Chains A and B, each alone.
Chain A
Amino acid sequence: MEIKDFLEETTQATGASGYETQVASIFRRYIEGVSDEVWTDPLGNVIAVRRGPRENSPKIMLAGHMDEIGLVITRIEDGGFLRFTKIGGIDERTLLAQEVRVHGRSTLTGVIGAKPPHIQEPDERRKSVPMDKLFIDVGLEEEKVRELVSVGDIATIKRKVISLNCDTLAGKAMDDRAGVAVVLATFRELVRLKSQVTVYGVATVQEEVGTRGAQTSTYGIDPDIGIGIDVTFADRDDLVEERAKLGKGPVIAIGPQVHPKVYQRMVETARKRGIDYQIDPSPHPFGTDTAPIQVARSGVASILVSIPLRYMHTSVETLKLRDIEAAGRLLAEFISSIDAEFVEGLSCF
């Protein structure tokens, strides 16, 4: 149940890109018991380490990002209404009528209001409302708003996790607290496994604005193998390409950003251990932490493992817990199978 608790707690917490400290402290609390050491780097990445048997044991880095898409206040209007812009790729069409938290001098609850349908022009009814026409209403007098909120303050979507059934959860910021949950699940699995390597579990910052935390944390760690853990599009019949299915296991990517030998070992491990997995052939560069991981320093053998997710970048992102647990088992078994010889072989093409 702990993974479910972790996911509920972190997705209900707030952590817009650049402001991830709440999520960071929850992650620290959960991971400390299964790590040799945990620290925070200058940009705020939280790095947990499980040391290998030797000083020079090979290094494997796992990265799931803590940050979520969010909003930032750009102007306080007459009447105390707040104008905003976005941090990261929020789907602007889904903002209407959302509940939000405004992180000012104190945390205020607000709603994103809209013009009632009765008084909309016929033209307006057929269109989604652009972000520059939206505003946050915190229900206070202008003077009070100005006292508590300042331009530059952050706002995030407020949303409780709901169980659609015991294993299926919907909420905001599953992208990518699910990936952070996989890091935690992997560390917990590693407790019972033998490992020849040093494992770094990184909860990264600022992925949604350009995979920034992964860039600096990978530089600092300088790993031999880097594994980005994110979410991927699942089960939509309106998507042309074949997509991953919820509940059918983690999705292993293959493409130019994935080292073929790491991919091969990952798939072999899944088969050998009887863990369900899916494959996502992707010729395009991924917009995930795997991108900066691959090109850090002199280059890192990298891979991307994803959790199937429906309705990405909305406040009802939906996933199945069993995919997270399976990903944790897969990555732990993969790590446990790696030794110095395998790592040396990565540069023999």
Chain B
Amino acid sequence: MKEILTKLTRLYGPSGHEEFVRDAIKEMVEPHCDEVIVDPLGNLIAHKKGSGPKLMLAAHMDEIGVMVTDIDKEGFLRFTKVGGVSPHQLLGQRVVFKNGTFGVFGHEKLDDIKDLKFEKMFIDIGATSREEAEEKVSLGDVAVFDRDLVEAGDRWIAKGLDDRAGCAVLIKVLQELSSSPNDIYAVFTVQEEVGTRGAKTSAYSIEPDLGLAVDVTLVGDTPKAPTNAVALGKGPTIKVKDALVLAHPQVKESLVEVAKSHGIPYQFEILDNGGTDAGPIHLTKSGVKSGGVSIPCRYVHSPTEMVSKTDMDNAVKLLKAYLTSVQV
């Protein structure tokens, strides 16, 4: 797991530019699948054939980032966000563009730090003129956090664990799942962070009988956190709801049953804000029974997202057991 996660979180892959992540995952899963294809939007669809119902699992490859909207004559870059980025998370951060150019953030003079907005901020790539900046960066280029994965006891800390942690779990499941009666489509989706777009088109072509999103979820186990019973290290969560889906009661209950019978710890996910790929999947065509398994994660959408190793291992166990036993 460490090797997979280190590799995946290090890669550059903002929404719409998932190719490095896709290539890496493809290499890891291809030997374990009957067929691996890339669809028009760039979703990687790994198919493990079976005679049973079609099960679709989705983990998204993309991460949040910042996009260049203007380059001024001194070579400073103005920018907008790609996905859910907050201005305060950017202060003091280093970002990297696809071609390896580094940038850091600065802001105009502010009377109050509360006035910090993207419009008041800029990226400094060390250029001294527009011309010099344009040699490295163009309008529309996207940068992501530059931050390597570290271990802290039972925890992993890295950027992009949302949702490379889900991708890593899904990769492990594909690698370790020996046989299943079900027809399994593991989809590594694109553009989740900008509106669960890749899951929408991939589910349309797959037409699954059952859908599961594998993503990260918010926790309430830090000082004075909002009410949320989910904690790191107490097991993967079984989805009850997020902003885009109410898990089908059958899916939720069958996941609980599998977790109980295999002695795998689990928690329930009730997410008021924030959607997952289960949203578009369950609304595909005439409807798909859907739910999700998530990995509890602290500091989501920061460069220092934190997950528990045992939660990830247990998510792999839960999904493997579920895929071999579930009946739709």
Chain A interface (Cβ < 8 Å from any Cβ of B): 17-19, 41-45, 72, 74-76, 83, 85, 87, 132, 150-152, 206, 209-210, 212-213, 215-217, 219-220
Give the chain B neighbours of A76 by CB distance below 8 A.
229
Q: Residue B213 at the A interface, CB < 8 A? A: no
Residue of B nearest to A77 (CB): B227
Bound CA–CA A74/B282 (angstroms): 23
Q: Which residues of B contact A217 (CB under 8 A)?
A: 286-287
Asked if B229 contacts A42 (CB within 8 A), the reply is no
A47 to chain B, nearest CB (A): 10
A18/B246 contact (C-beta < 8 A), A74-B227, A74-B270, A75-B227 known = yes
CB pair B286–A220 under 8 Å, yes or no, is: yes
Whether A42 contacts B289 by the Cβ 8 Å rule is yes
A87 x B246 contact (CB < 8 A): yes
B228 within 8 A of A: yes
Q: Does B252 contact A (CB under 8 A)?
A: yes
Q: Which residue of B lies closest to A150 (CB)?
A: B268
Q: Which residues of B contact A216 (CB under 8 A)?
A: 283-287
> Is B270 a contact of A45 with CB atoms below 8 Å?
no
Known: A74-B229, A83-B227, A132-B227. A219 touches B286 (CB 8 A): yes
Say yes or no: B241 contacts A87, CB within 8 Å.
yes
Task: List residues of chain B with CB under 8 Å of any chain A CB.
Answer: 220, 226-229, 238, 240-241, 244, 246-249, 252, 267-268, 270, 272, 282-289
The verdict on A220 contacting B270 (CB below 8 Å), with A152-B252, A206-B246 known, is no
Q: How far does the alpha carbon of A212 sit from the alpha carbon of B279 in the complex, in Å? A: 10
Q: Is the CB of A152 within 8 A of B270?
A: yes
How near does chain A come to B219, taking the closest CB pair, in angstroms?
A: 12
Report the 5 A-B pairs with minimum CB-CB distance, sorted nearest first: A18-B246, A216-B287, A220-B286, A152-B268, A43-B287
Q: Are A151 and B249 in contact (CB under 8 A)?
A: no
A74-B220 Cα distance, complex, nearest whole Å:
11
Cα A210 to Cα B268 in complex, Å, equals 22
Determine the residue in chain A with the shortest Cβ distance to B238.
A152
Residue of chain A at shortest CB distance from B268 = A152
When A85-B270, A217-B287 are in contact, do A151 and B229 touch as well, CB less than 8 Å? Answer: yes
Can you give 7 contacting A-B residue pairs, CB < 8 Å? A18-B246, A42-B287, A43-B289, A87-B246, A151-B268, A212-B283, A216-B285
Q: In the complex, are the beta carbons of A42 and B246 less than 8 A apart?
A: no
Chain B residues within 8 Å of A42, by CB? 286-289
Contact of A72 among B241, B282, B286, B287 (CB under 8 A): B241
Residues of B within 8 A of A41 (CB): 286-287
The answer for the CA separation of A144 and B249 in the assembled complex, in Å, is: 24
Chain A hits for B288, CB < 8 A:
42
Asked if A45 and B227 sit within 8 Å, CB to CB, the answer is no
Distance in angstroms from A15 CB to nearest chain B CB is 12
CA distance A210 to B282 in the complex (A): 13
B94 to chain A, nearest CB (A): 36
In the bound complex, residues from chain B placing their C-beta under 8 Å from that of A220 are: 285-287
Asked if B246 contacts A209 (CB within 8 A), the reply is yes
User: Which residue from chain B places its CB closest to the CB of A209 in the assembled complex?
Assistant: B246
Complex Cα gap A47–B186 (Å): 32
Q: A152-B252, A152-B270, A219-B286 are in contact. List 7 more A-B contacts (CB 8 A).
A: A18-B248, A42-B287, A75-B220, A75-B229, A85-B270, A150-B268, A216-B284
Residue of A17, A42, A210 contacting most chain B CB atoms (<10 Å) = A42
